[in-house]
Amino acid sequence: MIQNFNLGISPCPNDTFIFYALINNKIDTKGFKFNVVFKDVEQLNYMALEGGLDICKLSYHAFAKASKQYQLLKSGGAFGIKNGPMIVSKSKIYPDEIPYIKIAVPGLNTTAMMLLQLTYPDIKEPEIYVFNEIEDAVLSNQCDAGLLIHESRFTYQNKGLVKVLDLGELWYKNHHLPVPLGGISIKREIDSSIKLLINNLIKKSIDYASKNTEEAIRFAKQYASNMDTNIMLKHIDLYVNEFSLDVSTKGKEAVLFLFESAFASNLISEPLQPLFIE
């Protein structure tokens, strides 16, 4: 009997690369069928908060709010290694000025927003934009600075913007941990054996894409047709890494520390345990 699951991922290259083999039946899906929804990360966050997806790529910030309904898989996620959300501006701004400026952010439930609030507890109310509109918001002087995620870290300089601060670099400098950006969540009510099977399918999907890079890139290009191929490759290389294959003890430590820090700062309620599938 075929089991159907609603799967939500973003059209960003790291997600489409990771899930290429799974959603195109390049691997044996063990009788599971995945009905895929492609949405911007903040849209996925809201859909999960409403319980609308069985399996979903979620910002860790959003997962903390949805943890009563969802649990984290150990594969398929995104971690920054000495890099993460980046603050940029049109003209020179010093890091200590950030709490007092108008800053564009990619959503209130993003991990980028959580990191910004942890770094600058007194940050004033941000301006919300879709992530790929933030550079233009800064260039057109709608905002003094922007908090970039995804492939924008590779394009901002060509548009005349300058780096103010990489929150991932600062995170690593202070804590010597990778930055948990987004994880694959699955409804807690789903049977544990099925969760493990799906986790293993994602690992196999990553392995297939890694061994068949050209076809996986062609698929990813369908969802990012305006993106330069070299930028796409840089994006995948940066965010499909060792922690995507398996979160590992170090990755779990980073997630726990992020949540403990956010809870201590009253940014989230304490997430339901266990966070990860066993």
pLDDT digits (tens, 9 = 90+) for 11-51: 999 999 999 999 999 999 999 999 999 999 999 999 999 98
To the nearest whole percent, how much of the chain has pLDDT over 70? Answer: 99
Number of residues written out for the chain: 278
Tokens found for residue 147: 């908090």
Q: What is the pTM of this model?
A: 0.95
Tokens (6 digits) for 205: 């999907």
Domains of the chain: 3-79+180-264 (3.40.190.10), 86-175 (3.40.190.10)
Cα separation, 157 vs 133, whole angstroms: 15
Q: Is 61 one of the catalytic residues?
A: no
The pLDDT assigned to 63 comes to 97
Average pLDDT, the chain: 95
Q: What angle (nearest 5°) sits at the alpha carbon of residue 249, between those of residues 243 and 253? A: 95
Distance of alpha carbon 57 from alpha carbon 109, whole angstroms: 13
Q: pLDDT > 90: what percent of the chain?
A: 92
Selecting among 150, 175, 176, 235, the annotated active-site residue is 150
Q: Are 109 and 58 in contact (CB under 8 A)?
A: no
The pLDDT of residue 2: 63
- Give residue-wise pLDDT tens across range 136-152: 999 999 999 999 998 89
